[in-house]
Amino acid sequence: MAACSFRRSIASQLSRVLDLPPENLIKSISAVPVSKKRHVADFQLSIASVTEDSSNNFLPQDLPLQAQKLAERLKCDAVVSEISAGPGTVNFTINRELLAKTVLQQVLKDGSEYGVKSELFSTAPRQKAVIEFSSPNIAKKFHIGHLRSTIVGNFIANLKVALGHEVTRINYLGDWGMQFGLLGVGFQRFGNKEKLKSSPLQHLFEVYVQINKAAEDENTKELAKDFFRKLEEHDEQTLSLWKQFRDLSIEEYIRIYKRLGVHFDEYSGESFYQEKSREVLKMLEDKGLLQKTGKGTGIVDLSENKDLSSFSTVMRSDGTSLYITRDLAAAIDRMEKHSWDTMIYVTDRSQSNHFQHLFQILKLMGYEWAGRCQHVSFGLVRGMRTRRGEVVFLEDVLNEVRSRMLQNMASAKTTKETEDPVETAEKVGLAALIIQDFRGLLSSDYQFSWDRALQSRGDTGVFLQYTHARLHSLEQMHGKEQLTDINVTRLQEPDAISVLQHLLRYDEVLYKSSQDLQPKHIVSYLLTLSHLAAVAHKTLPVKGSPPEVAQARLCLFQAARSVLANGMKLLGITPVTHM
């Protein structure tokens, strides 16, 4: 990684002067974000983070002076062409030609691995991660929360895979419970085998809505209970109908997820953990953790002082399991099956309490690995509606974004005729949805707006796609040959330097996202990259420039496009080449 060699070079000089091992210094040296104030340095060392390492404790007001003193003791060399002191930082400017040469060579050599190979990740052990996300309920709405879970989980999985970890993607379906009693009775009454085969998600949803209206009636309630009891007793006919519901739904989900660019390694579900949740209840009883209430329900006391000020209900009065009991069984089962290092659940924050309880109970049961479970929660999306009204099916959202994007593309003057406008519209539209969702902190709620998401200017997914397509057609027009011996002295304009400085920061941005699992760092990095590339595209023409200059610029744009595409793919966006 280009940034690594520069960081290491700066660290080795600092280590001689400060008498600290260079390893301790590398994390304190960071690339400087590009700003409107041109001619900023490339790297800065934060004095505060170095003084923490050494025994001399400075007061904050001494930091500028310390920075000044340290800067005076350092010398420029073949790598560093300028050293200056800031308020509490020492700033380093890399030799401009070396900067251009190193960055461009590295980006074009590493390709899709640029940034991921950085030594920032070298101490992180390769891990096995299990990620549970999306997890809709069969026969119920696929609401916007499921969509968020799907794209966030996909991002986390993509990032971990890119960083060399082994990832298992699990979709934990709501495929069991009392509602299947109702659904079974509903299907016997209103169901249609043909419709079930052709559009299972929609048909089961309609049946469920119809039977719910009839469910006030005592007779229907009894029949539903009866159907579910048969299901639990593994009655063949009942089970085969349920299995059809499940299998056909999954088949359709796979097709729709494919449109989203998402796949799963495992379609699990609550139904897998019927027997196992009974075993969990027995374990809780054997460990003395299961208490019975006056009503006969089973609870686990989670309070510090064992005064039931906080508890979790794990068993109904009739002895059957609850959602949390099945979650306990699933966690234990996944550990046995995958022996993971970390397990991540991606759901909206209304389930925070549920997961706190889940992890606490596992800890009480003596599973030390409970500490390696993590709940990545996200806020609510308000105001997402399609022309058909509120979102009921994931496919409605995909169709809506595609048709709106097709309309925009048809009315835009800049749009060239693309071979497959429908597919392009879908990929661009998805980029728009994902960027609008990932721009802020995941935990914050946001107001959804089609108009804002689909704008072609400004900080949107459409703008990212547009930039990628433009840079791609520039390469097509001026030859794609791998540029090896370019003359880097031709890339000294401020707009070129800004792009190079920004490319230098990519590994730090990936590192940040890998630490807190927030996509927003990568999103803002890519938006800035696109803005910088757009400016450079205007001021540094390839066409009509002398061959040497044209080649150097082409190489710069190729590097920018490569990193833009890498980042987009991590976010779950497929970059388009024509728009």
44: helix, coil or strand? strand
Instruction: Determine the Cα–Cα distance for residues 88 and 48; give it in Å rounded to an integer.
Output: 7
Tell me which residue of 204, 154, 146 sits closest to 179, measured CA to CA: 204
Q: What Rg do the C-alpha atoms of the chain give, in angstroms?
A: 28
Residue 2's identity, in one-letter code, is A
DSSP 460: S
User: Does the annotation count 578 as an active-site position?
Assistant: no
* Contact of 89 with 67, CB cutoff 8 Å: yes
Dihedral over alpha carbons 446, 449, 452, 455 (to 10 degrees): 130
Tokens of 42: 């490339």
Lookup: tokens for 27:
């994390």
Q: For residues 50 and 25, is the Cβ–Cβ distance under 8 A?
A: yes
Q: Are 276 and 336 in contact (CB under 8 A)?
A: no
Residues pairing with 386 in the sheet: 389
**Alpha-carbon distance values, 177 to 60, 252, 455 (Å):** 60, 21, 43
Rounded CA separation 552/539 (Å): 14
Maximum Cα–Cα distance for the chain, whole Å? 88
CA–CA distance, 470 with 542 (Å, rounded to integer): 13
Cα 506 from Cα 508, distance rounded (Å): 6
Contacts of 327 by beta carbon, 8 Å cutoff, 6+ apart = 354, 358
Closest CA to 224 of 187, 277, 172: 187
Check 146, 203, 502, 537 and give the catalytic one. Answer: 146
Interatomic CA distance for residues 137 and 269, integer angstroms = 9
User: What would the two tokens of residue 94 be?
Assistant: 């890399």
Q: How far is CA 289 from the centre of its chain?
A: 37
Separation of alpha carbons 399 and 379, rounded Å: 24
| Planar angle of CA 276, 265, 237, nearest 5 degrees | 50
115: left (phi over 0), alpha (psi -120 to 50) or beta: left
Task: Using DSSP, state whether 314 is helix, strand or coil.
Answer: strand
Residue of 101, 143, 203, 502 marked active site: 143
Rounded-to-integer distance, Cα 412 and Cα 305, Å: 66
Burial of 578 (0-12, 13-18, 19+ CB in 10 A): middle
Catalytic residue among 27, 117, 128, 140: 140
> Is residue 326 within 8 Å of residue 277, measured between CB atoms?
yes
Q: Which residues contact 225 (CB under 8 A, 6 or more apart)?
A: 178, 181
Strand boundaries in 95-165, DSSP class E: 128-132
| Residue located via tokens 């031709």 | 490
140 catalytically annotated = yes
Tokens at 159, concatenated: 């990032």
Catalytic residues: 140, 143, 146
